[in-house]
Amino acid sequence: MKGDGSECLCLILLLLHQTPVSRPERFQVLGPDSPVVAVAGKDVVLPCYLKPNISAEDMSVEWTRTHSTDDLVHLYREKKIRNENQNPSYRGRTALFPEELKRGNVSLRLSRVRGSDDGEYKCFIQCPTWYDDALVHVRVRAVGTEPVISMEGHRGGGIGLLCESKGWHPVPELTWLDSEGHSLSAEDTETRRDSERFFTVRRRVTVQESNTNRFTCRVLQQQLKQEKQTEIHIPAEMFHNAQSWRVACVMLLTLAIFVLIGCAVLTYRHVKLLREKESISKEKEVENKCRRGEYENACKFAVDVTLDPDTAHPKLILSEDGKQVRHGDTPQDLPDTPKRVESVPSVLGKEGFSSGRFYYEVQVGEKTAWALGVAKESINRKKYTPPRPSNGYWILWLKNGNKYWAGASPSIPLPLREKPRTVGVYVDYERGQVSFYNVEARSHIYSFIGYTFTEKLYPYMNPSTNENDRNSAPLIISPVRLTEFSISV
Ligand SMILES: *[C@@H]1O[C@H](CO)[C@@H](O)[C@H](O)[C@H]1NC(C)=O
Ligand SMILES: *[C@@H]1O[C@H](CO)[C@@H](O)[C@H](O)[C@H]1NC(C)=O
């Protein structure tokens, strides 16, 4: 009897133990059979689903690129979107279909397709007991602009023409044709990629006088079955002038060399003078940085920020031009107006923004503590509230010289590889986005995304305390030239 009892217990234990295993959550992950065609600028759905169609709500859904190191496209885990380490080029452009998850549909929606989205993706699904993945190929299709032809003057007894067409994906073929449709021998096609990885093609040709003097530049994308062309007619007189032009050209060239030497000397002196004065060259520098930088998109919305002395905490000292702020240790005797921030030693910009996009840069240098970003008009200026979006702050801060934080709820530690000396702040009001960049490294630091702004947003700065002089340097607003893109208030 004794023996029977223990056997029975064993059997029960075995059964209990096996119960979860007897219904394992086994599933297959399936993607589309053929590549997904995505049209540039539009949205596309990357299909992926579970078979059988069990719920994926409690699973981890990870979309990645397969041939890239910075490869996270979208991550859903523990019922939350976890895109902190997302590749910046996908920032704000990815989403799952929350309603579809319970049907095992983990398809990804990718918005505003770019050239760089072309390629292979992996859809990886995991639950505690099982995982599987599927590959999805995306083919980006973009039809470019009408070709533009420009005349480059006389060349080799004929006339030099240049044709250019932008915004294609994949690369199209560019041919020069005469009026009968025969292709002309031309230079090699130059191919470039723009910031969104679409292709620009350019090709030069030298044309001779013909019966019609009509020439066509044709851009053809076979896979898209798309063709765009532009024709140019060159008046015969222009060819006739070619001979006399050549003589004139030699003379002009000689003259040009002298002028150039003169110019170079003058420019050198001029630049030296400017350097001494400094200010203009600094603006140029910023402008160039904007043009070349990876974050040119943010950078070109640069606005000229000036701090508002009426909002400054009594312990803060602003420079006369309102471009610098430092901590003064002792409070000054200033009127306690409604505008003045009395809670934390901080200050706001003069202008607030209630639409569009704007960008500004702050030099933080070697400071060991600071906070900056944007704040909405109605923040509690008299009583401390934690600096997070629900209280009207979208800011980043540094503590103890190397601890960077994003003021989300809860705050997110940011282990930065490089210490930013200048921080760029970019706001896209309509998209509810606030992003921070390391200007020198041209890298992205952190983005708040998906907020709905309803009030004016003001640049916000806090130089923190002086920490026995270790942190007494001011925060300095970088001079940024106002561009045509900037937003007026
Ligand atoms: C799951 O699939 C079955 C048949 O394959 C179908 O009848 C059922 O409606 C599906 N469930 C959902 C939630 O789509
Ligand atoms: C998954 O959901 C998306 C969005 O609603 C839909 O377009 C797609 O057809 C769904 N896929 C499957 C397999 O149900």
Would you list the domain boundaries of the chain? 24-141, 148-234, 237-291, 296-478
Pocket of ligand 1 (CB under 6 A): 53, 103
State the average pLDDT over residues 432-441: 86
Distance 64 CA to ligand 1 centre (A): 27
Pocket probe mutation, ligand 1, options 53, 54, 105, 106, max atoms within 8 Å of Cβ: 53
CATH of segment(s) 24-141:
2.60.40.10
Task: Name the closest-CA residue to atom 7, ligand 1.
Answer: 53
State the average pLDDT over residues 395-412: 84
Q: Is the pLDDT of residue 8 over 60?
A: no
Q: Which two tokens stand for residue 467?
A: 């920490």
CA–CA dist 389, 360 (Å, integer): 19
Are 267 and 260 within 8 A, CB to CB?
Answer: no
Mean pLDDT of all residues belonging to the chain: 82
User: Which atom of ligand 2 is closest in space to residue 107's alpha carbon?
Assistant: 1
Fold observed for domain 296-478: Jelly Rolls (2.60.120)
Distance 104 CA to ligand 1 centre (A): 10
Distance 54 CA to ligand 1 centre (A): 9
DSSP code for 391: G
Q: Which two tokens stand for residue 154?
A: 């006389």
Domains 24-141 and 148-234 share a fold: yes
Phi then psi dihedrals of residue 20, to 5 deg: -65, -35
Q: Is the pLDDT of residue 264 over 60?
A: no
User: Which atom of ligand 2 is closest in space to residue 103's alpha carbon?
Assistant: 14
State the average pLDDT over residues 166-183: 94
* Cβ of 297 below 6 Å from ligand 2: no
State the average pLDDT over residues 118-145: 93
Distance 52 CA to ligand 1 centre (A): 8
User: Which atom of ligand 2 is closest in space to residue 109's alpha carbon?
Assistant: 4
Architecture of domain 148-234: Sandwich (2.60)
* Burial profile 371-402: b = 16 or more Cβ within 10 angstroms, e = fewer: bbbbbbeebebeeeeebbbebbbbbbbbeeee
Q: Is the pLDDT of residue 69 over 80?
A: no
Residues in the chain: 489
Cα-based distances in Å from 295 to 69, 217, 255, 486: 20, 33, 42, 16
- Give the model's pLDDT for residue 272: 47
User: Which atom of ligand 2 is closest in space to residue 105's alpha carbon?
Assistant: 1
Considering every ligand atom shown, identify the ligand nearest to the alpha carbon of residue 123 and give its number. Answer: 2
- Give the model's pLDDT for residue 6: 43
pLDDT in tens, 216-238: 999 999 988 899 999 998 888 87
pLDDT in tens, 316-351: 999 999 999 999 988 888 888 999 998 888 999 999
Considering every ligand atom shown, identify the ligand nearest to the alpha carbon of residue 49 and give its number. Answer: 2
> How many CB atoms within 10 Å of residue 16?
9
